[in-house]
Each structure stands twice: as C-alpha cells, then as structure tokens.
Chains A and B, each alone.
Chain A
Amino acid sequence: MEQGIWNLETLWFVLIAVLWIGFFFLEGFDFGVGILLPFIGKDDTDRRVMINTIGPTWDGNEVWLLTAGGATFAAFPEWYATMFSGFYLPLFLILFALIIRGVAFEYRSKDRKPEWRSMWDWAIYVGSLLPALLFGVAFGNLVRGLEIDAAGEYVGGFWALLNPYSLLMGIASLVLFTLHGAIFLALKSDGDVRVRAAAVSSPLAIASTAVVGAAMVWTYLQGDGDFVPALLPILAVVLLAVVIWLTKSDMFGWAFICTGVTIVAIVAAIFIGMYPNVMTSTINPDYSLTVFNASSTELTLRIMTIVALIFVPIVLVYQSWSYWVFRKRVGPRDVTTSTH
C-alpha cells in the first residue's frame, strides 16, 4: 500500500463497495421474496401480496447494481473490462434473470389467465434465484483470486469459476438473501403470507448460520488472516445466530436489522480484504489489478467525485421518501378488489 489510503482511487473503491452493499441489502430481500414466491404464495392473492410488498421499490433497488457497474467503468476501466469479460457467461445468466424478472413484475397482473400468471411467476422465481446464487459465486471468485495474466486479462475460462469455494459462497448468498426476504415479508405483508413468512424464517436462519459460517471459516483458512476483515465475518455469523432466536421470539424488526448488518459486514469484509487489489491474480501477484493500476485519471475521478457528492445525498433522500410512502403492510385487501 505504498500510496496510502487518502486518495481518490481509494475513495472510489469505497464508494463502489458502498454501492454493492446497498444493492445486496436492498435487492437481497427482493431476491428473497422472489425465491419464496412458489413456496409461501399458495394462491394468486398470496402471490400478489408478496409481489406488491416490493412492487414500488424493486426497480430503484436494482439501480444500485447499475450504478456500481457504471461507477466501476468510470473509475476503474481495467477492472470493469477484465471482470465483465471474465465473468462473461455467469453475467449473461444474471442479465437473463434480471430481464425476465423485471418484465414479470410489470406484466404478471396485466392478464387474468392462470397460465399467463404462472409463466411470469416462474420468471420471478428463476429470475431471483439465479442472481442470488451467482453474485455469491462471482464474489467468491473475487475473494479467491483469478487467473489474471500479464496483460490484465482473465484467462481461466468458464469452468474454473465454478470451484467449490465459490459455489459455497453462492449457496451462502442464496440462503442469506432468502432469509432476508422472509423476514422482510414478515414485516411488510399481512394475512397468510405474513404467517408463513414468519414460520420459514427460523429454519432459514439456522441454515444461514450454518452455510454462511462454513463459508466464512473457509474464507479465513485460505486467506492471509487479515485481522479487521476477520472481525466482520465473526460479527456476521454471530448476528445470524441471534436471528434464529429473534425470529422465534417474533421480533422481526430486529431480525431484519441483523440480517441487514450481516450483509453489510460480509460485503465490507470482502472489499477490505481485497484492497488494494480489485482482481487478485493467482498466476503472479504482480499481475493483480489494483485500485491504482486499474483506475481512471485524477481528472476523471475528481469530476466523478463532485457529481457523486452532489447527487448521492439527493438519491438517498428521495429513495428514503419512497420507502416512507410505502411503509404500510400489504395485505389481501390491497390486491383483491382489482378489476383487471
């Protein structure tokens, strides 16, 4: 870290980490709701209740991802180019999932035919499950390091991405987001959905504690044991264990905060652990892309910083306002009177 941390490159690394944290915190429960759709939504009314709990906000949550992608392109073009071309096929699957899922939310209730609605329910389920799994796999690979050659290109191919550690990370993110979504539904829905969401929360919390705990132990064993990132994963696993108790005690507000902090802690630990690398090379440490050798110029970073300083607070204000407007629970009454 010859350059210290008080520079724009590091600031943008932190900002991109914050964007990913925001994305996983917010879209994490959206994915969870989508994954639980066929299991908790027994009939059409249930499923509409579930979808409408995230209806007004899912798209805004997804923009955190788009902004993370755009910010990576702007601030670290080398990182963007290597990561997006390297994760080519998984990224295609994620895009495929986000495409069908986004359209499904809007189109599902625009026709009454059961086959039409069931088709879009599948799209929501698959479109939520795939990214919840694949983002974990992708981040597992970032933590583990990739075959980056001297030109800064990923040369490991597709199958190398599906290594056991990264797959475990994928399952961990899948289970954790499902839990996050179940707790969200217990907070935001009413009627049968609320009862069922509460009921599945405890088993999901047990599963999350086990899988996330295993993934964190594996991360620790293969890493260089940096002290600070190790504290955060421990905090994450402890909080998940507390969630088991909170969900059993019907304290879903606290449970939601705990799963949220868990997500924040793990993503933060991943980014802190990587720094100053953004793509660690397993071929030769000198080939690694770092915040310094992958970054844009000082001028571009300065312009982007000014734009971010002005607009990020504004975005946070109106997005929070939107959550405030839609703070009430969604129940069967809110959807059954519909005429279409």
Chain B
Amino acid sequence: MEDVLLARWQFGITTVYHWLFVPITLGITWMVAIMETAWVRTKKPEYLRMTKFWGKLMLINFAIGVVTGIVQEFQFGMNWSTYSRFVGDIFGAPLAIEALLAFFIESTFLGLWIFGWKKLSPKVHAFTIWMVAFGTMASAFFILLANSWMQYPTGYVLNAETGRAEMQNFGEILTSKVLWTHFPHTVAVGFATASAMILGIAAYHLAKKQHVIVMRKSAAFGGAVLLVATIGVALTGHWQGQVMVEVQPMKMAAAEALWDTEQPASFSLFAVGDKENSRNSVNVAVPRALSLLSCNNLDCEVQGINDLQAEAVAEFGEGDYIPNLFVTYWSFRIMVGLGFLMILIGGLAVWFHIRGTLIRYKWYLKLALWIGIPAAFIANAMGWIFTEMGRQPWIAVGLLKTEVSNSPTVPGAWIIMTLIGYTLVYAALALAAGFLFVKYSKAGPGDEETAEDVAESMVY
C-alpha cells in the first residue's frame, strides 16, 4: 500500500474511534450538570443518584476520549508533516487555543468534580461540572474551526516565497459559514448521542421494572433531549447541505451520485453507480426533492459530478476530482436515515412519557436500547466519514491534495507498525471500556443520600 494511503487509514481509524466517545462527552457533561444542579436546588435524593450513576458512565467514556485526543493532535506532525508546514500558520492556532482554553478547563475541573465531593460546597461542586461541559464545547468549537478551514479555506493568502497558506484575516476564519453550520450540527449530535444512551440504558432498567424512580426521570430527560437534539441535528444538517452546495458542490453531488447537472434536481433514494461511464446504472429518485434540500425551492439547478469534474480540471489541471462515490453516497444515506429514526425514537419517548405509559411498552423499551444506542454511534461515524471522504482528493479544498500531504521522511513500515499498534491498543481499550460500561449500566444507581456517599465511590 502507498504510504499516504496507510497514513489515511491511520487517521481514519483513530478519528472515527475518537469520535465514538467524544459525542457522548459533548452531551452528557451538560446533562449531568443539569442533574447535579437539580439536586443542589431541590435536594431530592433521586437527582443525586442520577448524577452519580450517569456521572460514572460519563467518566468511563471521558477517559478514552481524552487519551485518544492526544493522538489526534500529534498525528498532524507525525504523519502529515507536509500538510502541517503548508497550513500551520492558520491551522496550528486553533489547536493551540483548544489546548489552552478547553483542555485545561476540562482536565482541571473534571479532577475537581471527581475528587471534590467532600471538599467543595455543593454549589461550587456543581459549578465544576458546568465548567467541564463548557470546556468540551469550547474544544469542539476550536477543532471544528480547524476542520472547517480544510473544507472551506478562507481568510488566507498564498505566499509564493514560503510556499504556504498564511493567515490574512482571522475574523474571516472565525466567521466561516462552514464553521457556523458544522459547530451547531456537532453540538446537536453530541446531545443526541448522550441522550440516546441515557434513554436506552434507562429503558433497559424500566423493562426490568427496577430503579423505577431514577430511571423514569432519566428516560423522560433523555427522551426530551433526544427529540429536541435530533430535530436540531436535522435542521442544522439541512443548513449544512445548503452551504455545501455553495462551497463544496462536488461533495453534495457525490452525496447524491448526481452525475449530470439537473434543474430541477431529484433526490436519489437508491443508486448503483457506474463510474466508468459516469452514470448510475440504477437510480430510484424523488423528483425535485434535491432542489428543495439544496436551495429551499423546487426548481433550482444542482450541479452534477461531470460538470464539476470538468470545471476542476479547467481550474486545477488534469486529475480525478471525484470523491469515492460509494462511500459518500451510502454514508450520507445511512446517516440521514438513522437520524430520522432517532427523531422517531425520541418523539415516542416524549409521547409515551406524557401519557404515563412508557414503562408498559416493552417493544419500545427494547427499541430504545438495542436500536437507539447503536443508531447514534453508526450515524456519528457515517457523518464524519462522509464529511472527510467527501472532501477528497483535497486535504485543504482547492489548495493542497491529500496525496502529497504526508510526511516524506516517514517510511511505510513505520506507519504500518504504528497503525497496528494503535489498532491493538484501541481494541483493548474498547474491551475494557465496554466491560465497565455494561457492568455499571447493569448495576444501576446506588442508594446514596449524601455527597459523602458519592465521594467514596468516585476516587481512584
């Protein structure tokens, strides 16, 4: 395999793995903060038990998210040194700011939260988890700032002398429309993932009719957040699609396997591509739907792959500017399909809870556990794979191609060694995390009544 392909596999594997844990963190920190605040305000013991139970799962998840994040930060220099030299003037700043603003807050205040149950007053203690939640969101913002720039470079100037992209206008980078659609989408995804997990695990206990007080409240909370968050995911996703048509039309065309420019454009439900002849051999499509999604009217034109390829050749020279269509087309569909399924699961939870019948519907409780949780993880992975694969062949769109961005001095053998190393250690950690997740989820909340009870079970 070519070195650059190995480096891409390494980035893909480590990123998707990191992205299994991070969305939970993004949502659950806020939800635990709300639970703890409810306890501080009302002193109802069930809120403390909720805080501790979901807080433990939060910690089991958090640990893996943190350590796999370190790999992400160092990997740019290790495997992608040419890229790092080319974009460092712009791309390095958000990473440094992320560490300074977000990582310090997350790590310090999480330490205070875990170990501070007896040492801090309840209010100050609750404040620490709010800070952690804020830190996770700041982290998401800055890393998406960096990623958005790769999707849609703005505020830069190409310096012929140094041969790199250099910052010209930081404000333009900060206000990138890709960033401001990526970020809300990602935050909504975080809440959707965490709430799907909370709802699913609460459903497990409700189906067994155990820990009913805590789990009924948790299911209602999880269900409500899930409904709101998944609707938010859909709306922000729609908005992202519109920006994508504008700034990365090839990605949208690839998502749709839309070979020829159409006006009005139809939305493909199922297609079998035929890349050699630049067409689909099979395509089942909804007329005008893609026009509606792309520009909110039924008649607009959506550019197709063939035209965009010709445009790219004219602008950048000979080459293949078409992403891997099988991956983009199907990852997009799986993501969107599972997203709608999750809206349904969240909606049903809210509906059943309002009617007070949630605990009666065994089929639903099973659905929330066995479909709701996996759906969230699969949709997350698909979304990330789509947005990154849809960017190909570019690493920074229009500026630098992925195939020339890796480290020239790093031989393939090293990448293979580390690829195997990461995969093995990540697999082992997945086993350990899975074991603890199942163990603590099944065990259910304890019967703690005071912060002192919780303190003893939180320390290392």
Bound form: Cα–Cα A107–B250 in Å: 45
Chain B interface size, under 10 / 10 to 19 / 20 to 34 / 35 or more: 35 or more
Which residue on B lies nearest to A315, using beta carbons? B104
| A81 and B74 in contact, given A96-B425, A155-B409, A311-B101 (Cβ under 8 angstroms) | no
| A337 and B456 in contact, given A66-B70, A297-B167 (Cβ under 8 angstroms) | yes
Choice from B70, B167, B421, B459 contacting A300 with Cβ under 8 Å: B167
Whether, in the assembled complex, A180 has its beta carbon less than 8 Å from a beta carbon of chain B, the answer is: no
Which of A71, A84, A335 has the most chain B CB within a 10 Å cutoff?
A84
Whether, in the assembled complex, B92 has its beta carbon less than 8 Å from a beta carbon of chain A, the answer is: yes
B60: chain A residues at CB < 8 Å are: 106-107, 110
Bound form: Cα–Cα A34–B401 in Å: 43
Choice from B96, B119, B418, B457 contacting A326 with Cβ under 8 Å: B119
Contact between A85 and B409 (Cβ–Cβ < 8 Å)? yes
Main secondary structure of the interface of B (DSSP, over half): helix
In the complex, how many angstroms separate the beta carbon of A54 from the nearest chain B beta carbon? 9
B74: chain A residues at CB < 8 Å are: 69, 84, 91, 95
A227: chain B residues at CB < 8 Å are: none
Contact between A300 and B115 (Cβ–Cβ < 8 Å)? no
Which residue on B lies nearest to A303, using beta carbons? B170
Bound form: Cα–Cα A71–B62 in Å: 24
Binds B, one of A72-80, A202-210, A229-237: A72-80
Contact between A74 and B70 (Cβ–Cβ < 8 Å)? no
Choice from B68, B116, B166 contacting A325 with Cβ under 8 Å: B116
Whether, in the assembled complex, A188 has its beta carbon less than 8 Å from a beta carbon of chain B, the answer is: no
Contact between B111 and A81 (Cβ–Cβ < 8 Å)? no
Bound form: Cα–Cα A92–B119 in Å: 38
Choice from A70, A75, A103 contacting B73 with Cβ under 8 Å: A70
Whether, in the assembled complex, B64 has its beta carbon less than 8 Å from a beta carbon of chain A, the answer is: yes
B110: chain A residues at CB < 8 Å are: 59
Complex interface residues of chain A between 6 and 38 (CB less than 8 A to chain B): none
Bound form: Cα–Cα A298–B281 in Å: 54
Whether, in the assembled complex, B397 has its beta carbon less than 8 Å from a beta carbon of chain A, the answer is: no
Whether, in the assembled complex, A249 has its beta carbon less than 8 Å from a beta carbon of chain B, the answer is: no
Contact between A153 and B408 (Cβ–Cβ < 8 Å)? yes
Which residue on A lies nearest to B409, using beta carbons? A153
Contact between A73 and B107 (Cβ–Cβ < 8 Å)? no
Contact between A338 and B457 (Cβ–Cβ < 8 Å)? yes
Bound form: Cα–Cα A56–B100 in Å: 19
Which residue on B lies nearest to A336, using beta carbons? B456
Whether, in the assembled complex, B378 has its beta carbon less than 8 Å from a beta carbon of chain A, the answer is: no
Whether, in the assembled complex, A218 has its beta carbon less than 8 Å from a beta carbon of chain B, the answer is: no
Complex interface residues of chain A between 28 and 73 (CB less than 8 A to chain B): 48, 51-52, 55-60, 62-63, 66-67, 69-73
B168: chain A residues at CB < 8 Å are: 299
Complex interface residues of chain B between 41 and 67 (CB less than 8 A to chain A): 59-60, 62-64, 66-67
Whether, in the assembled complex, B99 has its beta carbon less than 8 Å from a beta carbon of chain A, the answer is: yes
Whether, in the assembled complex, B388 has its beta carbon less than 8 Å from a beta carbon of chain A, the answer is: no
Contact between B410 and A85 (Cβ–Cβ < 8 Å)? yes
B316-350 contact mask (Cβ, 8 Å, vs A): 1 or 0: 00000000000000000000000000000000000
Contact between A311 and B85 (Cβ–Cβ < 8 Å)? no
Closest 6 A-B residue pairs measured CB to CB?
A77-B88, A84-B77, A74-B92, A73-B92, A70-B96, A59-B107
Interface residues of A (CB under 8 A from B): 48, 51-52, 55-60, 62-63, 66-67, 69-78, 80-86, 88-89, 91-92, 95-96, 98-100, 102-103, 105-111, 153-155, 158, 296-297, 299-300, 303-304, 307-308, 311-312, 315, 318-319, 322, 325-326, 334-335, 337-340
Could you list 29 examples of A-B contacts with CB < 8 Å? A52-B115, A56-B116, A59-B107, A59-B111, A60-B107, A62-B107, A63-B99, A63-B107, A67-B96, A67-B99, A70-B96, A72-B92, A73-B88, A74-B93, A74-B95, A76-B88, A77-B84, A89-B414, A89-B418, A91-B74, A95-B70, A103-B63, A153-B409, A297-B166, A304-B93, A311-B100, A315-B100, A325-B120, A326-B115
Interface residues of B (CB under 8 A from A): 59-60, 62-64, 66-68, 70-71, 73-74, 76-79, 81-82, 84-85, 87-93, 95-101, 103-105, 107-112, 114-116, 119-120, 164, 166-168, 170, 407-410, 414, 417-418, 421, 425, 429, 432-433, 435-436, 439-440, 446, 456-457, 459-460
18 new A-B contacts, CB < 8 A, other than A62-B107, A299-B167, are: A55-B115, A56-B116, A63-B99, A63-B103, A66-B73, A67-B104, A70-B95, A72-B92, A74-B95, A88-B407, A92-B421, A102-B63, A102-B67, A103-B429, A106-B63, A109-B460, A300-B93, A300-B166
